[in-house]
Amino acid sequence: MPSTVPLPRSPYAARIRVRFARIGCSVTLKPKFRPTVLISGMSTMSESILSDTIAPPPAGRHAAAPRSMSVSGLKLDWLMSALSALFVGGLYLDGWAHNHGRVDESFFTIWHAFFYTGYLLVAITFAAATISNLMQGYPLPLAVPRGYRLTGVGLFIFAAGGVSDMVWHILFGIEEGIEALFSPTHIMLGIGIGLTVTGPLRAAWRRRDKDAGWRLLAPAVLSLGIFLAALTFFMMFFFPVTVQLGTPGTGRGYFHDDLGKTAGLVGAILTAAALTGPILLALRRWRLPLGAVATALGLAILGATIVDYEQPRMIWLALGMAAAALAVDYLAWRAQPSRRPESVRWLAPTIPFLLYAGYYAVLLTTTGTTWSVHMWTSTIIIPALACWLLSYLLLPPLSPEPQP
């Protein structure tokens, strides 16, 4: 009995007519339209946007082939990293203006103009790359450059937050002091910034080069450092260099009573976790080249020094943490957590331990501290213990195999 092969059905046309002119006959196919295919495709696209993955293109002879390679790769990563640095630089410039009384009650200031210009440059580059891929024949799910889907989401969130921030300022005025970091619209802007500037990092994550050097990982390292700098901006009221933790004569009365000391210790824990977590994640993915960890941490320390610079002592405190970052960089390079995952267990507490030890080494040898030895040593040890616990989230212990 001869076997029959079912004819393919296409959801993209209501009628496909194939004519064979040479033999003088025609065949008409009338496939049924199946809405489940469309729904499934829309669901796949939605899931891929949230997970920042790219669904495979549909196979078959009817799939349209793009005419050339898509706009993506290292050149785009370099451009996006440079524009992201300008973007976050505008954020710090606006923060500096707020901290030094250079703003008025208006939303339209030169500081906001610089900040939002950086955003527009990043958004234009992202849109140009996506539109270029669409014009080359790529479908929308594949037109967004690899690793940049959440960048598109971040740009949308930031735009919505910017409009909301303008309305918020008009209705309630300009925030003062610590209120500027806790404003709902500013938190929305922060989420958008974080998703936007990590595009090059996610793009590098999706490549298969685990032991790549500076040539391939430089944009990703810069993206990681810019992300840490953005986090540091929102931690400026308890980052040790910015608030000069435990120092005399700041003129603010920070951290002098029991409540202030408790707040300083909690801030030290949050700072340690925010800096250590992304660094460990990158170290588990790659064997970062020598200098990469110091570069990422250095950008965060530099931003914390600039955003509220008041006294030369802040430069020396930042140099103490920067020297510790160099030591962390060397230890991380030798540990190779990407090849020896168990090294995460000791590297996680070492990072905050050295950073805060470098800070207090400079502080104690220059102006001294108003905190007792019990308090400032706890600021070194407790954040280290918190990051040691954090390592169990990154590398959980192995579960015992079930008994047969």
Q: Where among 215, 234, 253 does a domain terminate?
A: 234
Helix/strand/coil for 123: helix
Helix/strand/coil for 385: helix
CA 130 distance to own-chain centroid = 20
- The answer to whether residue 44 sits within a structural domain is no
Q: What would the pLDDT profile of 329-369 be if each residue is shown by its tens digit?
A: 999 999 999 999 999 999 999 999 999 999 999 999 988 88
CB 67 within 8 A of CB 136: yes
- The answer to whether residue 19 sits within a structural domain is no
Q: What is the pLDDT of residue 68?
A: 53
Q: What is the pLDDT of residue 106?
A: 62
Q: Where among 200, 234, 268 does a domain terminate?
A: 234
Percent of the chain having pLDDT more than 90? 52
Pick from 36, 33, 28: which is nearest to 10 by CA?
33
| 181 & 119 share domain | yes
Q: What is the average pLDDT across 158-185?
A: 84
Q: What would the pLDDT profile of 376-401 be if each residue is shown by its tens digit?
A: 999 999 999 999 999 999 999 888 87
| 90 & 215 share domain | yes
Q: What is the pLDDT of residue 261?
A: 87
Distance CA 193, CA 198 (A): 9
- The answer to whether residue 401 sits within a structural domain is no
For the chain, the average pLDDT equals: 81
- The answer to whether residue 112 sits within a structural domain is yes
Pick from 288, 294, 302, 180: which is nearest to 232 by CA?
302
Owner of token pair 């090849």: 339
The DSSP call for residue 16 is: E
| 160 & 248 share domain | no
DSSP string, 167-200: HHHHHH----TTHHHH-HHHHHHHHHHHHHHTHH
| 113 & 188 share domain | yes
Q: What is the pLDDT of residue 248?
A: 67
| 196 & 271 share domain | no
Alpha helices by DSSP H, listed for 258-401, are 258-285, 292-307, 313-335, 344-365, 373-394
Distance CA 72, CA 75 (A): 7
Name the amino acid, one letter, at 298. Answer: G
Q: The tokens of 312 are what? A: 């030369």
Pick from 204, 196, 81, 221: which is nearest to 147 by CA?
204
| 151 & 271 share domain | no
Distance CA 255, CA 348 (A): 27
Name the amino acid, one letter, at 209. Answer: D
Q: What is the pLDDT of residue 64?
A: 52
| 164 & 286 share domain | no
- The answer to whether residue 6 sits within a structural domain is no
Sequence-distant (≥ 6) Cβ neighbours of residue 10 within 8 angstroms = 16, 31, 62
- The answer to whether residue 118 sits within a structural domain is yes
| 298 & 322 share domain | yes
| 198 & 88 share domain | yes
| 134 & 263 share domain | no
Q: What is the pLDDT of residue 61?
A: 42
CB 309 within 8 A of CB 348: no
| 249 & 382 share domain | yes
- The answer to whether residue 7 sits within a structural domain is no
191 or 237: which leads in pLDDT: 191
23 or 234: which leads in pLDDT: 234
- The answer to whether residue 225 sits within a structural domain is yes
Q: What is the pLDDT of residue 72?
A: 77
Q: Where among 205, 234, 263 does a domain terminate?
A: 234
CB 241 within 8 A of CB 312: no
Q: What would the pLDDT profile of 12-27 be if each residue is shown by its tens digit?
A: 444 434 333 343 444 4
Helix/strand/coil for 399: coil
Q: Which domain holds residue 115?
A: 73-234
| 88 & 226 share domain | yes
Q: What is the pLDDT of residue 243?
A: 82
Q: Is the pLDDT of residue 93 over 70?
A: yes
Distance CA 186, CA 64 (A): 43
Distance CA 61, CA 192 (A): 40
Q: What is the pLDDT of residue 47?
A: 41
> What Å distances lie between residue 22 and 15, 25, 255, 339, 376, CA to CA?
22, 8, 91, 64, 91
The domain total for the chain is 2
Alpha helices by DSSP H, listed for 339-372, are 344-365
